[in-house]
């Protein structure tokens, strides 16, 4: 149960706005995340699978874009339509389908912006993938596209952090940790890097280190909801029940989103 909730927290931190943009059914129901993941593939399977869980308005938009796309032979228009489908599938929580279309658009446009969109989509898909082999394949594609962004702009810390995180589910976790530390040497107040260092410390059972990282994050941005929530988890895992309870109550006051409230309530229940 704890591992599942950590995964959901990590996903929302990687794309901070994700918890607010995704349909609540996708965010709040893990079984739907699994279903969406298992019914869509970046290796050419029909992205239409699993659309029974996509909101009707988004489904209608997807159908409209596909219809328009099928009626044109223009490569540029096809790429524009592919980018629109990437955006729509992202909103629907169908991340591997979004990645497939993002890569198609980026292959045509060949711009840093399109590379970043494709890389982000593959990264999100790898985050939610449940199958280890699929996760690895998606992570490799994320590194490929984000690597193109970094070649153009080595100071794109978000891309570098995401690349670092792709190594943590593969065979080179220390490489990922080193890359995160390199970012923090250059940008000590980088919120995403601080959060991920805290998260990794929680996952590895180094809760005192996690508390240190997440306190640094709180100093940089006291309103970082996911960081404040994970700090409560670190306190709880470290046996500091009083601090954990205070932290969770603090998060409840910070954010009224139902998903956040439900997550906090589940932790408070565990403390009783």
Which of 126, 100, 117 shows the shortest CA–CA distance to 46? 100
Place of tokens 């810390």: 157
**Has domain 1-38+188-272 been given CATH number 1.25.40.10?**
yes
Task: Find the DSSP H helices in the chain.
Answer: 2-14, 18-21, 24-28, 30-38, 56-70, 75-92, 95-109, 112-128, 132-152, 157-167, 173-186, 191-203, 207-220, 225-237, 241-254, 258-271
Q: How confident is the model at residue 105, as a pLDDT?
A: 98
pLDDT number for residue 168? 81
Which residues, 6+ apart, have CB-to-CB distance to 242 below 8 Å?
A: none
* Mean pLDDT score across all residues of the chain: 83
Q: Which two tokens stand for residue 57?
A: 């308005």
Q: Distance from CA of residue 55 to its chain's centroid?
A: 20
Higher pLDDT, 248 or 44: 248
Mean pLDDT of 167-171: 70
* Mean local confidence (pLDDT), 149-177: 88
Q: How confident is the model at residue 272 (pLDDT cuts 50, 70, 90)?
A: confident
**Two structure tokens written together for 266:** 């589940």
Answer whether CATH 1.25.40.10 is correct for domain 41-187: yes
pLDDT in tens, 95-136: 999 999 999 999 999 999 999 999 999 999 999 998 989 999
Is 60 exceeded by the pLDDT of residue 216? yes
Per 3-state DSSP, the chain is made up of helix, strand and coil in percentages (nearest 5) of 80, 0, 20
Where exactly are the structural domains of the chain?
1-38+188-272, 41-187
Most confident of 25-34, 202-211, 215-224: 215-224
Residue 237: is its pLDDT beyond 90? yes
pTM of the model: 0.75
pLDDT class for 175, splitting at 50, 70, 90? confident
Model pLDDT for residues 12-40, shown as the tens digit of each residue: 444 333 322 322 222 233 333 233 333 33
Same fold, 1-38+188-272 and 41-187: yes
Distance (Å, whole) CA 164 – CA 180: 6
Q: pLDDT tens-digit profile of 75-105?
A: 999 999 999 999 999 999 999 999 999 999 9
Asked if 102 contacts 122 with a C-beta cutoff of 8 angstroms, the reply is yes
Q: Is 23 left (phi over 0), alpha (psi -120 to 50) or beta?
A: beta
């Amino acid at each position: 149960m704890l591992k599942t909730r950590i995964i959901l927290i990590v996903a929302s931190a990687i794309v901070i706005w994700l918890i607010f943009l995704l349909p609540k059914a996708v965010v709040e129901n893990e079984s739907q995340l699994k279903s969406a993941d298992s019914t869509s593939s970046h290796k050419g399977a029909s992205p239409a699978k699993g659309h029974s869980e996509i909101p009707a308005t988004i489904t209608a938009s997807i159908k409209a874009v596909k219809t328009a796309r099928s009626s044109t032979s223009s490569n540029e228009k096809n790429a524009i339509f592919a980018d629109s489908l990437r955006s729509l599938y992202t909103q629907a929580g169908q991340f591997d389908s979004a990645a497939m279309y993002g890569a198609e658009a980026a292959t045509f446009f060949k711009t840093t912006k399109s590379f970043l969109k494709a890389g982000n989509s593959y990264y999100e898909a790898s985050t939610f993938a449940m199958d280890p082999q699929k996760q690895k394949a998606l992570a490799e594609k994320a590194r490929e596209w984000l690597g193109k962004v970094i070649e153009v702009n080595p100071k794109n810390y978000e891309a570098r952090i995401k690349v670092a995180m792709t190594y943590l589910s593969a065979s080179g976790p220390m490489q990922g940790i080193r890359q995160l530390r390199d970012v923090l040497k250059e940008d000590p107040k980088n919120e995403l890097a601080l959060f991920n260092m805290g998260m990794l410390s929680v996952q590895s059972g180094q809760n005192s280190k996690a508390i240190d990282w997440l306190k640094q994050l709180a100093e940089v941005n006291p309103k970082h909801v996911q960081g404040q929530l994970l700090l409560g988890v670190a306190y709880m895992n470290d046996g500091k029940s009083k601090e954990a309870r205070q932290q969770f109550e603090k998060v409840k006051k910070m954010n009224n989103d139902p998903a956040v409230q439900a997550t906090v309530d589940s932790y408070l229940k565990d403390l009783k």
